[in-house]
Structure 1
Amino acid sequence: MATSATSNADDRSKPAPMKHVEHPPLTGSTLIWGTLALALATFMIVLDSSIANVSIPAISGDLGVSPAQGTWVITSFAVANAISIPLTGWLVMRFGQVRLFVISIFLFVVASWLCGFAPNIESLIAFRVLQGAVTGPIIPLSQALLLSSYPKAKAGMALALWAMTTLVAPVMGPLLGGWITDHISWSWIFYINIPVGAFAAAVTWSIYKERDSAIRKLPIDKVGLFLLVVWVGAMQIMMDKGKELDWFESTQIITLAVVAVVGFAFFIAWELTDEHPVVDLHLFTSRNFWTGTVSLSLAYGVFFGNVVLLPLWLQQYMGYTATQAGIVLAPVGVMAIILSPLVGKSIGKVDPRILSTISFVVFALVLWMRSRFNTNADLTTILIPTVVQGVAMAFFFIPLVSLTLSGLSPDKIPAASGLSNFARITAGAFGTSIATTLWENRAAMHHAHLTEKMNLASIPTMQTMSNLQAGGLSSEQALAVINRTIDQQAYMMSANDIFFASSMVFFILLGVVWLARPIKLAGGAGADASGAH
């Protein structure tokens, strides 16, 4: 009897299991307004992650700090955001999907207002930390709420609408941020979030407040949360500062790397054994979740590294302005916007692995085309791969997200979406650092090879020097011109190496996608996976 009584007491002390109520899909104007509000929230967050990038010189000058200090405006947001994204699943159980989503948007609006009013760099960085921390749940929850708004058979269309906002916003961010900074004030890159966020929060609450998920009062996993902050924070700062500090030549970078690796190891061990972990790592027991997440993350890391590399090359060695480089990248969204609805409609009829294969093959083709660039490439030559890349983007997010979330019950989708988005964003940070570091290292190697036979005893060098001096340049100026020309060629050759290697990586990733189980084609992202676990 005593044992039975103790058992009953233990059962009463444990939180009751969360019951998931599946709400009917939205219809008519309610569905349109709900989709618009969720899309605007996603657009606002993705836009904000890139809009400040081109404004750093203006912010640094206005607040009286160096550009290097100014980059912490970006880094602080990225670190806080990276930490908060994987907490989405745990926070949903504590507060409910709709309530958490609306609260996050409201706090983001407040943080944006504070950023605009920041009087010095210290306060701006603090408010950007707040801004990044509260945005974590917004993108995963916009995805989850959108999927719950549509019938399962139209889940692909819901994902297509979500994907279009994530495709357009990164292109719009630098263009809009540059225009606002040049014509108004950098503060307004934050103020523009206020009306958009207020509208999105109000409409979302009015439509979805009766559709909130059940709340489960779970204890706070303080150890797991602490370990998450430590290893993610150390890793993100290492990625942001690595290039500036010459990577592992720096004691600071080595220390951050050790902290990140050790913290990650302890975090994994703790989360797999804790009764109420902050991050549900057991999601990786689903075959389609881990194959989809790995494919999406690695592909996004390679893609994003090249997205950063291309404008750097255009601006530093091809004479393009920041605005011109932005215009070159802008057409990537054209084909993506046109084709995304078609991909969304086909996701319930065509195996997502086939659609993902199309994306990876087109990405490989685009990067191979770029690997053939030379310093005489005109605007048309550079634009053609960019336009074609829109096809790859249309077939990228929708099938892979559908594959990743297949076979998961609706109550697990917020946690799965948060964890998948965290892996994707982290891979993007790695991709950026790896691409830019390799670019400089390979350029140094090519520069050394190109200059091996160039000396004052060689006839071509002497002829070039004579021609330049005949044009009025001193010998020092002539040598500087020659060195600049060699630099241009070296960085072009280095970019070609990275484009070609990236092309090969996409072919290799095809094998990862096909490790996933086929999913039932009637239900898109919400469908059950045959043997997904």
Structure 2
Amino acid sequence: MRSPYLIAFTVTLVSMMELLDVTIVNVAIPSLMGTYGASVDEISWVSTGYVVANVVILPVSGWLSAWFGRRRYYLVSTAVFVLASVGCAFSAELWQLVAFRVLQGLAGGGLLGISQAIIYDVFPKEKVSSGMALYGVGVMMGPTLGPTVGGYLIDTLSWHWIFLINVPIGAVALLLCWLCIGDSVNEQKPSSVDYSGFCLLALGVGSLQILLERGEHWDWMESNWTVACLLLSSFSLVGFFWWERRAANPIVNVALFHNREFLMGCICAFCVGFGLYSTLFMVPLFLQTLLAQSAYQSGLVIFPGAVASAISTLVIGKLSQENKIDERVFVTLGIVMYCYAMFLHTQFTLDSNPDTLYWPLVIRGLGLGMIFVPLTNLAMRRLPLTLISGASGVLNLMRQLGGSVGIAIAATLLTRFSWERYRLLSEHVTESSLIANGWGGVESNPLFLSLGLASHQQALALMPYLQAREQAQMLAFSMLFGTLGAVMAIGIPMVLMMRRSTLSR
């Protein structure tokens, strides 16, 4: 008899490896640009390709597991992910790196979607919260550790090791999968392949993800590419839901959304992904841009919050298992703690030092850790076991899409807020003062000129612009952190609309 806790550890290790790769590449962008002689626009496809492939495969992972058999699908996906990681490390051309990243994303999306379903299958229903708590640690820690681990590997070795680190982890995971993972008795192989549903879903979700990843670069609705992706995504997703309601063997069972708890859970998962990934994007950016921290140093600042999240997840998992406290209380309290942490983030200043940031980040981590296990239980516990695999993939998809939307909105709002604040703050700097000091008029755009090329007198004239820019960026970050807290608060009424979870399905 395989230990359910060993199985939970196995799928947690696999999922953590997959999620680590979502954020670990971000700190290697400058190194990759130098290696391949690529622009920021070109190198961004290393991240975009991975995420797009990930979200395309997530919602159909349950169907693929039933078609190929869970054990075979999980083992093959893990092996392909590790081999693709090796391919990434030894790619001679940029297109090869992007291709292997897409392969990584396709394999990794399947792993993430099935892992939760495995836990629900192997644990008795009265102990499933313990398994989900262990899995939740990996889900929360994986993306948070990415910048820290990536920064350390790049500083001490080279960028190749952000991919090669998956080899020893993957080898252990493969061995454990071979020993522990079996087929599910709750899955039945579909009698036919829903090619139309898969194509519509891939077009809809894929074009939506590309829009979110590239929208800011394309200047959103000012670009024909944006409009094309928006139209393609809209028509494809509408067509997908229309088709799936009529298909004999749908690749995603849209009847899942008839369950109120699951529907509200998906909305909450979207908000959680929004809050988790947007802050993982914005906090390191704040530390590196305004507090002059390196990628590794910013990762160390974030690390205590990740530990707090792991501890919180384990404790709440234990309390959820006892089923003495309404799990809606945990989720609501977690959202409130996250919102309070974002309020504390709005108090950051240019004089803040990393030591003063720990507690707001720890509170944020504690709040997020309180949400994962009870939210998953609320969303999925009333579903029949035959629908768990598909539901797990869709729930993970909503969290990933929430993260993508969060990052896209955060990046856009940061730029907009920065320019709005800058225009207000720079009103006191006049063109005549710059001409008098030799700048030749504002058409030289002193905001972007280097002080190293200016005389002492010119540098003094430029300082008000630079100070205004820094203050504007600081104010923009504060406004943005407040906005993220407000978006997360949307989840509270969704939670209150869900019925209390019970141990019976």
Indicate the residue corresponding to 1:235 in structure 2: 208
Indicate the residue corresponding to 2:275 in structure 1: 302
Of 159, 174, 179, 1:201 maps to 174
Give the drift of 1:104.
1.0
Give the drift of 1:508.
3.5
1:500 aligns with 2:482: yes
Deviations 1:301-331 (A, max 9, x none): 1332233112212211222222222122111
**Within 5 A, what are the aligned runs for 1:101-500?**
101-209=74-182, 213-347=186-320, 348-455=323-430, 474-500=456-482
Give, in whole Å, the separation in 2 of the partners of 1:303 and 1:35: 23
Indicate the residue corresponding to 1:509 in structure 2: 491
Give, in whole Å, the separation in 2 of the partners of 1:107 and 1:488: 45
Check 1:47–1:75 CA distance in 2 against 1; reply closer, same or farther (3 A cut).
Answer: same
Give the drift of 1:79.
0.8
Check 1:302–1:165 CA distance in 2 against 1; reply closer, same or farther (3 A cut).
Answer: closer
Deviations 1:110-148 (A, max 9, x none): 222222221111111111111111211211222121232
Indicate the residue corresponding to 2:441 in structure 1: none
Deviations 1:409-429 (A, max 9, x none): 122111001001011101110
Indicate the residue corresponding to 2:444 in structure 1: none
Give the drift of 1:297.
0.9
Give, in whole Å, the separation in 2 of the partners of 1:203 and 1:483: 58
Give the drift of 1:96.
2.2
Deviations 1:461-506 (A, max 9, x none): 99xxxxxx9xx95343223322111011111111111222222333
Of 4, 19, 37, 1:64 maps to 37
Give, in whole Å, the separation in 2 of the partners of 1:192 and 1:505: 35
Alpha-carbon contact 2:148-2:298 (below 8 Å) kept: no
Alpha-carbon contact 2:70-2:182 (below 8 Å) kept: no
- More displaced 10-residue stretch of structure 1: 159-168 or 30-39: 30-39
Amino acid in the other structure paired with 2:496: W
Give, in whole Å, the separation in 2 of the partners of 1:312 and 1:129: 26
Alpha-carbon contact 2:9-2:134 (below 8 Å) kept: no
TM superposition score normalised by structure 1? 0.86
Alpha-carbon contact 2:69-2:183 (below 8 Å) kept: no
Deviations 1:154-192 (A, max 9, x none): 111111100111122222212212222232232222222
Give the drift of 1:197.
1.9
Give, in whole Å, the separation in 2 of the partners of 1:173 and 1:516: 33
Alpha-carbon contact 1:86-1:279 (below 8 Å) kept: yes
Of 49, 57, 70, 1:97 maps to 70
Percent identity (aligned): 29
Q: Which runs of 5+ in 2 are unaligned?
A: 438-450
Indicate the residue corresponding to 1:23 in structure 2: none
The residue matched to 1:152 in structure 2 has which SS? coil
Indicate the residue corresponding to 1:36 in structure 2: 9
Check 1:456–1:214 CA distance in 2 against 1; reply closer, same or farther (3 A cut).
Answer: closer
Check 1:379–1:60 CA distance in 2 against 1; reply closer, same or farther (3 A cut).
Answer: closer
Deviations 1:2-28 (A, max 9, x none): xxxxxxxxxxxxxxxxxxxxxxxx66x
The residue matched to 1:375 in structure 2 has which SS? coil
Alpha-carbon contact 1:364-1:503 (below 8 Å) kept: yes
Give, in whole Å, the separation in 2 of the partners of 1:258 and 1:214: 35
- More displaced 10-residue stretch of structure 1: 161-170 or 423-432: 161-170
Give, in whole Å, the separation in 1 of the partners of 2:183 and 2:103: 29
- More displaced 10-residue stretch of structure 1: 121-130 or 354-363: 121-130
Deviations 1:487-531 (A, max 9, x none): 1111111111122222233334211110111122xx2xxx43xxx
Larger radius of gyration: 1
Check 1:42–1:139 CA distance in 2 against 1; reply closer, same or farther (3 A cut).
Answer: same
Alpha-carbon contact 1:96-1:212 (below 8 Å) kept: no
Give, in whole Å, the separation in 2 of the partners of 1:304 and 1:34: 27
Amino acid in the other structure paired with 1:97: R
Give the drift of 1:61.
1.6
Check 1:319–1:199 CA distance in 2 against 1; reply closer, same or farther (3 A cut).
Answer: closer
Give, in whole Å, the separation in 1 of the partners of 2:483 and 2:5: 43
Give, in whole Å, the separation in 1 of the partners of 2:179 and 2:357: 46
Alpha-carbon contact 2:62-2:113 (below 8 Å) kept: no
Alpha-carbon contact 1:280-1:415 (below 8 Å) kept: yes
Deviations 1:51-88 (A, max 9, x none): 21111222222223223211211111111111000011
Alpha-carbon contact 2:62-2:114 (below 8 Å) kept: no
Check 1:334–1:206 CA distance in 2 against 1; reply closer, same or farther (3 A cut).
Answer: closer
Check 1:265–1:475 CA distance in 2 against 1; reply closer, same or farther (3 A cut).
Answer: farther
Alpha-carbon contact 2:77-2:111 (below 8 Å) kept: yes
Alpha-carbon contact 1:96-1:213 (below 8 Å) kept: no
Give, in whole Å, the separation in 1 of the partners of 2:312 and 2:141: 13
Check 1:285–1:171 CA distance in 2 against 1; reply closer, same or farther (3 A cut).
Answer: same
1:46 aligns with 2:19: yes
The residue matched to 1:153 in structure 2 has which SS? coil
Give the drift of 1:213.
5.0
Indicate the residue corresponding to 1:3 in structure 2: none
Amino acid in the other structure paired with 1:235: L
- More displaced 10-residue stretch of structure 1: 378-387 or 68-77: 378-387
Give, in whole Å, the separation in 2 of the partners of 1:339 and 1:122: 41
Alpha-carbon contact 1:97-1:213 (below 8 Å) kept: no
Alpha-carbon contact 2:187-2:386 (below 8 Å) kept: no
Amino acid in the other structure paired with 2:286: W
Check 1:220–1:480 CA distance in 2 against 1; reply closer, same or farther (3 A cut).
Answer: farther
Give, in whole Å, the separation in 1 of the partners of 2:33 and 2:185: 43
Root-mean-square deviation (Å): 2.2
The residue matched to 2:182 in structure 1 has which SS? helix
Give, in whole Å, the separation in 1 of the partners of 2:213 and 2:486: 26
Give the drift of 1:235.
1.3
Alignment: residue pair count: 486
Check 1:151–1:232 CA distance in 2 against 1; reply closer, same or farther (3 A cut).
Answer: same
- More displaced 10-residue stretch of structure 1: 430-439 or 111-120: 111-120
